[in-house]
Structure 1
Amino acid sequence: MTTVTTTVTPKLFVKMVLDRWYASITNCDVLLNSLSDEALQKEISPGRNRGIYLLGHLIAVHDDMLVLMDMGEKLYPELNEPFIKFPDKAVEKLPTVSELRTFWTKQSEAIKQKFENLKPEEWFEKHTAVSAEDFEKEPHRNKLNIVITRTSHLQYHLGQMQLLKNK
């Protein structure tokens, strides 16, 4: 058996994480394209979140990433209140599914552009929610870790939205 030796570098770590992030975004795009606007208005299961809420929630959470990673301001700050501050059905007036689909696409592209502008070593810099003192003690609280946690979050809600395919 041959042993392959790979040099572990920041570039390799970043590639592994971003490959998973982009694959998850693509999986969400495929799912959203397979669901009608009407399907996204339905609850995942009785008494649970609707697809429209989950889509808006993902956009709002990904918007927070821009601030956390010091990449600029939120693109859709108006989504914070209906999709993060309050639970589903607590806010009457929401953007339409069509609007949210457009926001999702534009935001995904904007995030991709910002991600591509970072050098590998910049991914290991602190994010904005950690102080310099705490970062010294906990260097894992970096920008790359934000992408790891948000990828898990996205996958969780993708699993929920898959249930809409049978409705």
Structure 2
Amino acid sequence: MSDQQKINIAEQRVQQIIDQVINFWLAQNKAIDTFLNQHPDEVYLQEVAPGRNRAVYVLAHLIATNDGLLPLFGFGEKLFPEIAPLATEGESAVDFELSFKDLKKQWESLNLFLEKRFRELTPEEWLGKHNSVSDADFLLDPQRNKLNVLINRASHQNYHRGQLIFLNERKVLAKLS
């Protein structure tokens, strides 16, 4: 096998790994989409468990977090800066009522936009630094790359999907009472 063939195989394997990570992120989105379409909208205005966040806040938090990927990856400015504080703060960080219907539309449009942009990145771009790390820090820790950020964001979504499932359990328990 020639050196060029070895390089081609290595590049194909890197692309395969990148595709798997994107697909993992998409699978988390799809699972959340499925959950968001299970109940009437007013159900999502409830706390997922007593004393916990409302489901509508969890959705806004996930949107704010994904929206933060745009400047982080060099895709442009955030699409929904009005909910940006919800990436790191509680629901009281915004002074307006969260509309579940509007948030669902934002969630869908943002994730479609991100998927399109993710598919356009080259392996070199995926393994390159994101915009929150300096060149010097990236040289010290090259794992601070875009692909690693997406892995972490997909895991973050999965964590919050687990929180949302408590809402299903509460709804079922309420029916039994």
Q: Normalized against structure 1, the TM-score is what?
A: 0.90
Matches of 1:94 and 1:153, distance apart in 2: 24
Secondary structure of the residue aligned to 1:34 is coil
What displacement does 1:91 show?
4.1
**Cα distance change on mapping 1:140 and 1:85 into 2, 3 Å:** closer
Report what 2:53 is aligned to. Answer: 49
Across the two proteins, how many residue pairs are aligned to each other? 160
Q: Partners in 1 of 2:95 and 2:45 — Cα distance?
A: 13
Shift of 1:116: 1.2
| Larger Rg computed on CA atoms | 2
Q: Are 1:151 and 2:158 counterparts?
A: no
Pairwise mapping of residues 101-140 of structure 1 onto structure 2 (< 5 A)?
Answer: 101-140=104-143
Cα distance in 1 between the residues matched to 2:26 and 2:115:
8
Identical pairs, percent? 38
Aligned partners of 1:117, 1:40: CA distance in 2, in Å?
A: 34
Task: Give unpaired runs (5+ residues) of structure 2.
Answer: 1-8, 172-177
Structure 1 runs of 4+ aligned residues shifted over 6 Å read none
CA contact (8 A) 1:67 1:74 kept: yes
Q: Which residue of 1 aligns with 2:102?
A: 99
Higher normalized contact order (CA 8 Å, seq sep 6+, divided by chain length)? 1
The structure carrying a bigger helix percent of its residues is 2
In the alignment, which residue of structure 2 is the partner of 1:36?
40
SS at 1:103's partner residue?
helix
Q: 2:57, 2:98 within 8 Å by CA — same for their partners in 1?
A: no
1:88 positional shift = 2.6
2: CA distance between counterparts of 1:121 and 1:85? 30
Task: Compute the displacement of 1:89 (Å).
Answer: 4.3
Q: Which runs of 5+ in 1 are unaligned?
A: 1-6
1:56-71 equivalences under 5 Å are: 56-71=60-75
